[in-house]
A and B are shown apart, each in its own frame.
Chain A
Amino acid sequence: MSPELGHYALVLALCVAVAQGTLPLLGARRGDPGMMELGRTAALAQVALIAVAFLALVQAYVTSDFSVANVVRNSHTAKPLLYKITGTWGNHEGSMLLWVLILAVFGAGVAAFGSNLPPSLRARVLGIQGLIGVGFLAFILFTSNPFERLDPAPLNGDDLNPLLQDPGLAFHPPLLYLGYVGFSITFSFAIAALIEGRVDAAWARWVRPWTLASWCFLTLGIALGSWWAYYELGWGGFWFWDPVENASFMPWLLGTALLHSAIVTEKRDALKSWTLLLAILAFSLSLLGTFLVRSGVLTSVHAFAQDPARGLYILGFLIVVVGGGLGLYAWRAPKLAGGGLFAPVSREGGLVFNNLLLATLTLTVFLGTLFPLVLDALDAGKVSVGPPFYVATFIPLSLPLLIAVPIGPFLAWKRGDLRMALRQLVAVGVVAVAAGIVTLFIAHRSVVLAACGIAVAVWLVLGALRELARRIQLFGVPPGDSLRRLVGLPRAAIGMTIAHAALGLTVLGITGVSVWQTETIVMLKPGASVAHAGYEVTLDSVQDVRGPNYVAERARLVYRRDGAVAAILQPERRLFAVQRRVTTEAAIRTSPLADLYATIGESDGKGSWTVRLYHNPLAPWIWLGAALAALGGFISLTDRRLRVGAPRRTRAAAPQPAE
C-alpha cells in the first residue's frame, strides 16, 4: 500500500510544483499579493508531499518490501539496518528522490525564513524553485519511478553494491546533494534578480548565506567521498581526477568564487553581473554533474544506472534551465547599473584576482573532463586525460591563488596598500620560505614541488593567524584587551580565519602524501616480516571472520619499532555473498604525523598473502583541513549580520548611482 501512497504523493507534488512554478511568477508580474503568497503555501505543501514519498521508499527498504523493483535491485534481508536505510539513496531512482526532497526543503526554507524578503522577489525565487522541481519530478515520474512494482515478488533482493555499504559513503550523497541543490537557491535568486532587473547589497546579503551553506555541505561531501576512496578502494590515493569527482569539484571551485564575489556585491555594490553569472554557472555545473553521472557519456569509476533515454532527458532539462538562465543573463545583465569603483590594488581587486584564478581552474577541470568526449565526437581519436594534465595545469594556477589568500584580508576596500600589507606579513613569509628550504633537503622526490607545498601551507596557516592577530591587536594591547577583541570579533571574520588556515592544512596533507608516501607490496606467510617505513611489520595471522552479509579474511599485522609493538592493524578482504563481490577494508592507524595504512590481497593458495602497506605522512590533514574549512563556513553562517540588520531596500527601482 505505502509504495502507491508514495507514488501518489509524488504525482501530487508534481501538480503542486506546476502551480508553484507559474502562479507566483505571474502574481509578481501583476503585483497580485494573493498569487505571490501562493508560492509559500505551495513550497510548504511540496516539501510535505515529497517527504511522504521519500519516507514511503525508506519504509519499503526497511521492511524489505520486495514487491518494489527498486528495493529488489538494491537491498537484501541480511543487510544491516543502517545500509537498508542508506540504500534508499544508493541508487539512481532513490538518489533522485533525495535530490528533489532536498530541493523542496530548501524551497520551504525560503518560504519559511524569507519573511524579510520583498514579496515580489520571494515569489519569483519560489517560482523558479518550483520550475526546477517540475523538471526533476517529471524526470523521476516518467523515466525513473522508484515505486515500480514487481509481480511476482522475489523472495530476496540483489543486495546493495558492497562498496556502498560503508558509513562514509552512506552520508556522502546527502551532503553532496545539500551542496548541489543549495546552489539551486542562489540560481533562483539570480534569475529572480534578472527578472526584476536589480541587484543590490540587500540581494547579495540574502544570497550569501545560501551560497555559504551550500559551499560548506559541498566541501564536506567532497571530503567524505575522497576519504571513502582513500580507505575503501584500497589504492592509498585520495583523489583520482575521475570525471565524476571533477563533476563535484567544478561547482565547488565556482561556488568558492561566488562566495567571494558576493562579498564584493554586498559590501561595495560592484561585480554584479559577474556574481549573477557565477550563481547561474555554479548550479549549471551541479546539473552537469548529475548529467555526467547518469547519462553514460563518459567513462568513470562511478557506474550509476546509465541510460541514454535518461541522459537525453537531463540534457534537455540542462539546456532549458541553463540556456534559459544564460539567455536571460545575456538579455538583462548588460542593463544592470555598475557599482562602486575600486583601484586594482584593493580588497575588491584581490577578490577579483581570486575569482579570475578560480574561474580559470574551473575551466581547466572542465576542459580536462570533457576533452576526451570532444575529441571522440570530432573523430580525432580516443584519449584519456589523467593526473599528469591536472598536475601540470592545476599546480601553477593554484599557486598564485594560494599565495594571494593571506594578503587579501590585509588590503583595504576601494584602495589598498600592497606594501603595507606585505610588511605585516614579512615574518610569516620568512618562516614559510625557511620551511620550504628545509623541505628541499629532506624531500625524497619532487623536491621543488614539496618545498613549494610546505612553504605555501605554512604561509596560509600563519598568514591567517597573523591577520587574526592584527584584528585583535595581539601584543599591541594588553592580553586581556586582545581577548575581549577576540570575543567581540564578528563570526564571519573568525570563520574566514579558520577556513583560510584550514586550506593550508589541506595543502600540507596533500603535499605530505604526494611527496613522502612509501609503499611496500609483498607476499607474506603468517609469521614473516617485512621492513616498511622504519617499522618491522609482521603478518601475525590470517583468520576467517563472518559479518552480517559477508565472510572475510582478516589479517593481523603487527608494527614494531625497535622491537616494541607500535601498532596492530587488521585489514580485511570481504566477500559479499549475494553480489559475489570482494571489497578491501583497509586498516588505518591515524596519527597527526602520518597514517599507517594496510590492505590484504589475495592468497596465492600456498599460504602466502599479498600485503600492501602504505605510510602516508600528514595524510589526515587533507580531510581535517576540509572539515575545518566547512566548520569555518558554518561559524561564519552564525554571524548575526546574516540574520538581522540586512540593509532594507529604501530606494525604489531607481538605479544605484555609481560612486
Chain B
Amino acid sequence: MSNRWLYVLPLVMLVIMAGFFAYALTQSRNPTDIGAPLVGHKAPAIDLAPLHDGGARLTGADWQGKVTVVNFFASWCAPCLAEHPLFLRLKSEGVRLHGINYRNKPEEAKAWLARLGDPYERIGADPEGRAGVEFGISGVPETFVIDRTGTVRLHLRRPLMPDDVNKTILPLVKELSR
C-alpha cells in the first residue's frame, strides 16, 4: 500500500536532517566564519568619488602596477581608531595605501583624519556602502592586500594588530613586490 510510505516519510526526513547535523558537528566548522571568497580573485572595479575636495577618484586602476593595501574605515568605528596608528606606520614603510570611507559623513571623516593623521594616498567615499558590498565586507574595519595585477591576496576581517603588520602584511607586500 503506497499510503504506508507516507507514515515512513517523517522518519526519512529525520535521518536526512540528522546527517546534516552530524556533518556540521564533526567537520569542526565555525559558523561565524564567513571566509574570504575574494582572495585569489580580481578586486572589484570600483569608481568612487574622492573624500577630500579636489582629490582624485579611487578606481580599479589605483591598484595596478604596485602592491596596494586597501582599508575600509569610518570615523564612527572605535576599532578603526585603535588600528589607525598601524596605517600611519605602513605609510612610513612606503606601502601604497588607499582608504575607503564606509558609510560615513564626509565632514566627520575629514575631521577624524585631520585629528589623527591621514595615511591614505587616495580615499574613496562610500556613503551608501556599495563598495563595501562589492568587496564583500561584513563591517569595518576590514583590510585587503592587492597584488600588482589587481588580484586580492589577503583579506582581514578585523582590526589590524601590530603582529599583522610585522608578520603578515609587510612580508607579503615585500614578497609580492619582488
Selected from B18, B28, B31, the residue in CB contact (under 8 A) with A298 is B31
Selected from B14, B20, B26, the residue in CB contact (under 8 A) with A323 is B14
Given contacts A297-B31, A334-B7, A377 and B23 within 8 Å (CB-CB): yes
User: A370 contacts B10, CB within 8 Å?
Assistant: no
User: B25 contacts A297, CB within 8 Å?
Assistant: yes
Selected from A295, A315, A329, A333, the residue in CB contact (under 8 A) with B18 is A315
User: A370 contacts B20, CB within 8 Å?
Assistant: yes
The answer to the question of B3 belonging to the interface, with a C-beta cut-off of 8 Å to chain A, is yes
For residues 347 through 375 of chain A, which have their beta carbon under 8 Å from a beta carbon of chain B? 370, 372-374
Size range of the interface on B? 20 to 34
Distance in angstroms from A364 CB to nearest chain B CB is 15
The answer to the question of A119 belonging to the interface, with a C-beta cut-off of 8 Å to chain B, is no
A280: chain B residues at CB < 8 Å are 10
A311: chain B residues at CB < 8 Å are 25
Selected from A308, A330, A374, the residue in CB contact (under 8 A) with B10 is A330
B14: chain A residues at CB < 8 Å are 284, 319, 322-323, 326
The answer to the question of A78 belonging to the interface, with a C-beta cut-off of 8 Å to chain B, is no
A334: chain B residues at CB < 8 Å are 1, 3-4, 7
User: B29 contacts A312, CB within 8 Å?
Assistant: no
Q: Is the interface of B mostly helix, strand, loop or mixed?
A: helix
User: A326 contacts B31, CB within 8 Å?
Assistant: no
A568 to B114 alpha-carbon distance, docked (Å): 39
Q: Is the interface of A mostly helix, strand, loop or mixed?
A: helix
Residue of A with least CB distance to B23: A377
User: B34 contacts A377, CB within 8 Å?
Assistant: no
User: A315 contacts B31, CB within 8 Å?
Assistant: no
User: B10 contacts A277, CB within 8 Å?
Assistant: yes
A334 to B4 alpha-carbon distance, docked (Å): 7
User: B24 contacts A327, CB within 8 Å?
Assistant: no
User: B25 contacts A333, CB within 8 Å?
Assistant: no
User: A281 contacts B17, CB within 8 Å?
Assistant: no
A370 to B21 alpha-carbon distance, docked (Å): 10
Distance in angstroms from B55 CB to nearest chain A CB is 26
A327 to B15 alpha-carbon distance, docked (Å): 11
Distance in angstroms from B8 CB to nearest chain A CB is 4
The answer to the question of A273 belonging to the interface, with a C-beta cut-off of 8 Å to chain B, is yes
The answer to the question of B32 belonging to the interface, with a C-beta cut-off of 8 Å to chain A, is yes
B22: chain A residues at CB < 8 Å are 312, 315
B133: chain A residues at CB < 8 Å are none
A374: chain B residues at CB < 8 Å are 20
Given contacts A319-B14, A322-B14, A330 and B25 within 8 Å (CB-CB): no
For residues 295 through 351 of chain A, which have their beta carbon under 8 Å from a beta carbon of chain B? 295-299, 308, 311-312, 315, 318-319, 322-323, 326-327, 329-330, 333-334
User: A377 contacts B24, CB within 8 Å?
Assistant: yes
The answer to the question of B117 belonging to the interface, with a C-beta cut-off of 8 Å to chain A, is no
The answer to the question of B171 belonging to the interface, with a C-beta cut-off of 8 Å to chain A, is no
A281 to B8 alpha-carbon distance, docked (Å): 14
For residues 271 through 288 of chain A, which have their beta carbon under 8 Å from a beta carbon of chain B? 273, 277, 280-281, 284
Residue of B with least CB distance to A366: B17
Selected from B3, B4, B18, B31, the residue in CB contact (under 8 A) with A296 is B31
A284: chain B residues at CB < 8 Å are 14
The answer to the question of A291 belonging to the interface, with a C-beta cut-off of 8 Å to chain B, is yes
The answer to the question of A643 belonging to the interface, with a C-beta cut-off of 8 Å to chain B, is no
Distance in angstroms from B9 CB to nearest chain A CB is 8
A318 to B17 alpha-carbon distance, docked (Å): 11
A315 to B15 alpha-carbon distance, docked (Å): 11
B8: chain A residues at CB < 8 Å are 330
User: B10 contacts A326, CB within 8 Å?
Assistant: yes
Distance in angstroms from B26 CB to nearest chain A CB is 8
The answer to the question of B35 belonging to the interface, with a C-beta cut-off of 8 Å to chain A, is yes
User: A299 contacts B35, CB within 8 Å?
Assistant: no
The answer to the question of B11 belonging to the interface, with a C-beta cut-off of 8 Å to chain A, is yes
Given contacts A323-B11, A323-B14, A308 and B28 within 8 Å (CB-CB): yes
A299 to B20 alpha-carbon distance, docked (Å): 16
Distance in angstroms from B37 CB to nearest chain A CB is 8
Residue of B with least CB distance to A327: B11
The answer to the question of A4 belonging to the interface, with a C-beta cut-off of 8 Å to chain B, is no
Distance in angstroms from A461 CB to nearest chain B CB is 36
Distance in angstroms from B15 CB to nearest chain A CB is 8
Given contacts A277-B10, A382-B35, A308 and B17 within 8 Å (CB-CB): no
Given contacts A323-B14, A334-B3, A308 and B35 within 8 Å (CB-CB): no
A481: chain B residues at CB < 8 Å are none
Residue of B with least CB distance to A303: B32
Beyond the given pairs A330-B8, A370-B17, A376-B24, 20 more chain A to chain B contacts, judged by CB atoms under 8 angstroms and listed by A's residue number, are A281-B10, A291-B21, A295-B25, A296-B31, A298-B31, A308-B28, A311-B25, A312-B22, A312-B25, A326-B10, A326-B11, A329-B11, A330-B7, A330-B11, A334-B7, A373-B21, A373-B31, A374-B20, A376-B29, A382-B35
**Residues of B in contact with A (beta carbons under 8 Å apart):** 1, 3-4, 7-8, 10-11, 14-15, 17-18, 20-29, 31-32, 34-35
Task: Pick 10 A–B contacts, CB within 8 A, sort by A.
Answer: A295-B25, A308-B25, A312-B22, A322-B14, A323-B15, A326-B10, A330-B10, A334-B7, A370-B17, A373-B24
